[in-house]
């Protein structure tokens, strides 16, 4: 299957944003320059100045504006008549900053710029300016149509497909097959691990597991992910098989760099959700509809879900699967992760009974 031109354009725009270069977004003849706020440095300040206009704005997400003390709950933009990297960075991600100018509503193109920042997994804050004359100052900036950005997430869902599969024996689950999907969410492939020989005519054990490099791979003590992952594989191997989805949603969909930024804030006293909000993110960026599609592509219809997260159960039901049971799955509790687990229980409604977590 070949990607549509609109998707290719957005993928290139995402690569430009991640590389810290400005792009042009356009719709109906209106054109704006957008640059990730975290990429603004003295070079870009001078370049924007050479454009010769004082119309630059800093677009910020709703959570970030709330953190800065704004009254409005929606995303908004602050005027940046003289582009100043220190001020822009403070407003975009400094944990102590307060709003120093009023925030105005975003235009549709500015909203679109923030959506691209999220897709690119940089901080959701963008420097915006009119694009007139941009070609003379920046080396051929990439252009993307707003309509293509709007269509991108649904197109990625519809494009979900299996690209390869092979048997990979795992410790504790030697009869396992890795099935790799393209599409869905994030910047990389998705993985389904079919463990044993699940009988799809009966309710199948499933787990939706969002990637956690620190916990899954390195055994970080800050979360319970690694334990949950390994427990799931063993449980499925010993209980009639199952399907373990490993989803490219590092840091609740914020990406690894932003998760580590959040960890730095947590080291300074913020809990997991306050840290994300300080960086401009909602409690949870993840959507799980593509995970339901992966399960259906593998033949699952009725499922027993291993999770403490009610949103995953709702997403599978909404995605057309019949959830016949759900089962709690706890990693070990320790002094480093107990606050994280309690925050998930208290602020996000996860069904966590800390007294029953093994120490
Ligand atoms: N942003 C952010 N992400 C985190 C933090 N700690 C862990 N994560 C991410 O949170 C996600 C946890 O995903 P899952 O293991 O699927 O867990 P869950 O949504 O808690 O649900 P269940 O484990 O199924 O109950 C992973 O993407 C981790 O990388 C944190 O402090 N901040
Ligand atoms: Zn983790």
pTM: 0.95
φ, ψ of residue 32 to 5 degrees: the values are -130, 155
Q: Which ligand is nearest to the CA of 328?
A: 1
Residue 279 lies in a domain: no
E strands, 76-120, in order = 76-79, 103-105
Of the three residues 152, 176, 193, the one that is the final residue of a domain is 152
pLDDT digits (tens, 9 = 90+) for 52-100: 777 899 999 999 999 999 988 899 999 998 899 999 999 999 999 999 9
Asked whether this complex has an ipTM greater than 0.90, the answer is yes
pLDDT digits (tens, 9 = 90+) for 93-124: 999 999 999 999 999 999 999 999 999 999 99
How far is residue 297 from each of residues 168, 246, 294, measured CA to CA in Å? Answer: 20, 15, 5
Q: How far apart are CA 115 and CA 151, in angstroms?
A: 12
| Domain of 44, in residue numbers | 5-152
Q: How many domains does one find in the chain?
A: 2
Of the three residues 136, 152, 168, the one that is the final residue of a domain is 152
Tokens 């299996």 found at? 162
Instruction: Determine the atom of ligand 1 nearest the C-alpha atom of 263.
Output: 31
Q: What three-state secondary structure class fits 25?
A: strand
CATH code: domain of residue 225: 3.40.50.10990
Question: Do 81 and 146 fall into the same domain?
Answer: yes
How far is residue 202 from each of residues 19, 131, 282, measured CA to CA in Å? Answer: 47, 57, 37
Cα 326 versus chain centre, distance:
25
Of the three residues 130, 152, 174, the one that is the final residue of a domain is 152
Report the pLDDT value the prediction gives residue 192, as an integer from 0 to 100.
98
Residue whose C-alpha is closest to residue 30's, from 150, 146, 140: 146
Which of 276, 286, 326, 333 is catalytic? The answer is: 286
Nearest Cα residue to atom 11 of ligand 1: 252
Rounded mean pLDDT of 244-265?
98
Question: Do 195 and 241 fall into the same domain?
Answer: yes
Angle in degrees, CA 224, 226, 229, rounded to 5: 105
Q: How far apart are CA 93 and CA 88, in angstroms?
A: 9
Q: Mean pLDDT of all residues in the chain? A: 95
Question: Do 148 and 182 fall into the same domain?
Answer: no
Asked whether residue 23 carries a pLDDT value surpassing 80, the answer given is: yes
Question: Do 29 and 67 fall into the same domain?
Answer: yes
User: Residue 34 is encoded by which pair of tokens?
Assistant: 């957008």
Question: Do 59 and 183 fall into the same domain?
Answer: no
For the chain, the first-to-last Cα distance in angstroms comes to 48
Q: Which ligand is nearest to the CA of 340?
A: 1
């Amino acid at each position: 299957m070949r990607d549509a031109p609109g998707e290719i354009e957005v993928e290139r725009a995402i690569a430009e944003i991640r590389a810290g270069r400005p792009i042009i977004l356009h719709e109906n003849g209106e054109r704006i320059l957008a640059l990730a706020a975290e990429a603004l440095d003295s070079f870009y300040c001078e370049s924007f100045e050479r454009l010769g206009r004082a119309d630059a704005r800093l677009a910020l997400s709703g959570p970030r504006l709330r953190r800065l003390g704004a009254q409005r709950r929606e995303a908004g933009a602050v005027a940046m008549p003289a582009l100043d990297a220190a001020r822009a960075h403070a407003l975009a991600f400094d944990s102590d900053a307060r709003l120093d100018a009023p925030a105005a509503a975003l235009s549709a193109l500015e909203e679109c710029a923030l959506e691209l920042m999220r897709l690119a997994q940089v901080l959701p804050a963008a420097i915006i300016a009119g694009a007139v004359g941009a070609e003379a100052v920046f080396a051929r900036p990439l252009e993307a149509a707003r309509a293509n950005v709007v269509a991108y997430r649904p197109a990625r869902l519809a494009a979900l497909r299996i690209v390869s599969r092979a048997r990979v024996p795992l410790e504790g689950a030697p009869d396992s097959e890795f099935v790799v999907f393209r599409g869905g969410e994030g910047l990389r492939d998705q993985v389904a691990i079919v463990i044993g020989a699940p009988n799809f005519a009966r309710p199948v054990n499933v787990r939706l597991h969002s990637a956690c490099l620190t916990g899954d791979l390195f055994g970080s003590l800050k979360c319970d992910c690694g334990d949950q992952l390994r427990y799931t594989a063993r449980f499925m191997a010993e209980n009639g098989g199952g399907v373990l989805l490993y989803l490219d949603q590092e840091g609740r969909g914020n990406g690894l760099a932003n998760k580590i930024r959040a960890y730095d804030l947590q080291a300074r006293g913020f809990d997991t959700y306050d840290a994300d909000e300080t960086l401009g993110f909602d409690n949870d960026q993840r959507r799980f509809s593509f995970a339901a599609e992966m399960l259906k592509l593998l033949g699952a219809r009725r499922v027993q879900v291993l999770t403490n997260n009610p949103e995953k159960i709702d997403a599978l039901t909404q995605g057309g699967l019949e959830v016949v049971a759900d089962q709690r799955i706890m990693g070990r509790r320790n002094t480093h992760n107990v606050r994280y687990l309690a925050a998930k229980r208290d602020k996000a409604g996860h069904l966590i009974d800390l007294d029953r977590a093994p120490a």
